[in-house]
A and B are shown apart, each in its own frame.
Chain A
C-alpha cells in the first residue's frame, strides 16, 4: 500500500480530492468545539473561566507529540526504505509541529500565571516540552544547512530518531517526577478523571487540531513536490 501512494502524481491527485473534506471537517469541529469550550461547558469550581485555556492547551500539547512521532516514523521510513515521499512528509510536518509546541508552551504559560502565580516553572514537563521545541528547531536548521538537499534530509532524519528518546520522557514526566504540572487526567489507564461536560469540547478541539494538521500537511507536501519538480526542470535546463 505504501508503494501505491508513493507515486507523486497519484499522491497529488488523491490529496487534492481529500483536502476539501479535511478542511470542512476541521471547520465543523472548530465551530462546535469552540461553542462548547467557550459557552456550554461548565466553569471549574477552583479555576473559574481560566479552565477554558485547557481546550487549546491540551490539544496543542497532544499535537506537539503527535507531530514529532509522525516525523520520527516518516524519517525512519525515509532512511530504511529510501522513500522520497516519507522524507517530504517529515519536512512538511516539522514547522507545524514546532508551531503546536510553541502554542502549547505559550498557552501553558498564560494558564500558569493565574494558577501557579508564575509564567514559567522549571519542572520536568515544561522543560522536556521546551527541549522538544529545540529539537524541532534543530531539525529545521540542520535540514537547511547543506548545499546538497539529500545530505540535509538524511542527516536531519537521523537527528529526529535520536531526539525521539524525549517523547516518552515528556509523556511520563508528570508521573515519574513530582511536578507542579498536573498529571494526565484524560489519557490514563483507569479512564479519564475530568467531568464529561469538559471532555466533549476537549475531544472536539482535539479532532479539529488533528484535521487541521492533516489538511495543512497535505498542502505542504503538495507544495514541496511542486518545488522539487521545478528544481528538476531547472537541472534539466542546466544540462541541456
Chain B
C-alpha cells in the first residue's frame, strides 16, 4: 500500500471518530451568518447585497476555528516527531493533513452554503459562481492555515495567534471570491476572478506544503 493511502486512511479514521469537530465548524458557520439579519435588519435587498460577503467571512472564520487542531494532536502525543522521522517525505504528510482538513471542514462548508444562500436571499444567478469560489478558495484556506498551524505549535494562545497570522494573508482570497459574485451581477462575468482564485490555489499548492514541512521540522527540533 502506498504511503499516501496509509496516511490518508489513518487521518480519515481519526477524523471520523472525532466527527463532532466537523459539526461544530458547521454549527459556527451557520450561527455566524444567521446573526447578521439580526444585526443589520432583515430587509431582503440589504441581505442579498451583503450575503455573499457575510457567508465568505463566516466560512473563513469557521475554517480558522478548526485550524489549530491540524497538527496539535500529533504534536502533543509525540506522533509528530515520529512522522518527521518516518522514511516518508514530510511534504506528503502535510498534503494528506491538508486534504483531510479540507474534507472535514472545507467540503462541509461548501455543502452547507446553499442553505445560507437561501436564508440570506442571495440572487439565484450567482449561486453557481459563489459555490465555485468556495471550491477554489477553501483549499487555499486549508493550505495557508497549515503554515500558521505549524508555526504556532507550542505557542502560548496558539489558536488566537494563528488567526492573527493567517487571516491577513487570506484577504486577497476574500476579495476575489466576493468580487466574482459582484462581477456576475454587474454583467462582467466572473472568469477573471475565478482564474485569479485558481492561480492562488495553484501557488499555495506549490509552496505551502514545503513551508509547512519546514516549520514542522523546526517545531519538533
Direct interface between A and B, CB < 8 A: yes
The residues of A with any CB-CB pair to B shorter than 8 Å are 127, 131, 134-135, 137-138, 141-142, 145-147, 151-152, 154-156, 158-159, 161-163, 166, 169
A145 lies within 8 A of B155 (CB): yes
> Does residue B184 face the partner (Cβ distance < 8 Å to A)?
no
| A163, closest chain B residue (CB) | B169
Name A155's contact: one of B152, B156, B168 (CB within 8 Å).
Answer: B152
In the complex, which of the residues A145, A161, A162, A163 contacts B158, with contact meaning CB atoms closer than 8 Å? A145
CA distance A163 to B154 in the complex (A): 21
Tell me the smallest distance from the CB of A186 to a CB of chain B, in Å.
Answer: 26
Interface positions of B from 25 to 43, Cβ below 8 Å from A: none
Decide if B218 touches A151 in the complex (CB within 8 Å): yes
Cβ–Cβ contact A162 & B211, under 8 A: yes
Judging by beta carbons under 8 Å apart, are B171 and A141 in contact?
no
Contact of B157 among A145, A147, A166 (CB under 8 A): A145
A159 shortest CB reach to chain B, Å: 6
Chain B residues, Cβ within 8 Å of A163: 169
Q: Report yes or no: B171 in contact with A131, Cβ–Cβ below 8 A.
A: yes
Q: Is the interface of A mostly helix, strand, loop or mixed?
A: helix
Q: What is the distance, in angstroms, from A239's C-beta to the closest C-beta of chain B? A: 22
B164 interfacial contact with A, CB 8 Å = yes
Contact present for B211 and A158 (CB under 8 Å) = yes
* Interfacial chain A residues near B219, Cβ < 8 Å: 151, 155
Tell me if B194 is interfacial: C-beta within 8 Å of chain A. Answer: no
A154–B215 alpha-carbon span in the complex (Å): 8
Given contacts A158-B218, A162-B169, A163-B169, A141 and B164 within 8 Å (CB-CB): yes
Interface size on B, residues (CB 8 A): 21
Since A131-B168, A151-B219 are in contact, a sample of 20 more A-B pairs with Cβ atoms closer than 8 Å, ordered by chain A residue number, is: A131-B171, A137-B164, A138-B164, A138-B165, A138-B168, A141-B161, A141-B165, A142-B155, A142-B161, A142-B165, A145-B156, A145-B158, A146-B154, A152-B155, A155-B151, A155-B218, A158-B214, A158-B215, A158-B218, A161-B211
Inter-chain contact A145/B147, CB cutoff 8 Å? no
Alpha-carbon gap, A143 to B88, bound state (A): 30
Q: Which residues of A contact B175 (CB under 8 A)?
A: 127
CA distance A137 to B165 in the complex (A): 9
Q: With a CB–CB cut-off of 8 A, which chain A residues contact B172? A: 169
Is B151 a contact partner of A134 (Cβ separation < 8 A)?
Answer: no
Inter-chain contact A151/B211, CB cutoff 8 Å: no
Closest residue of chain A to B157 (Cβ to Cβ) is A145
Q: Roughly how many angstroms separate A147 CA and B155 CA in the complex, as a whole number?
A: 8
B168 interface neighbour in A134, A147, A169, Cβ under 8 Å:
A134
- Chain A min CB distance to B111 (Å): 30
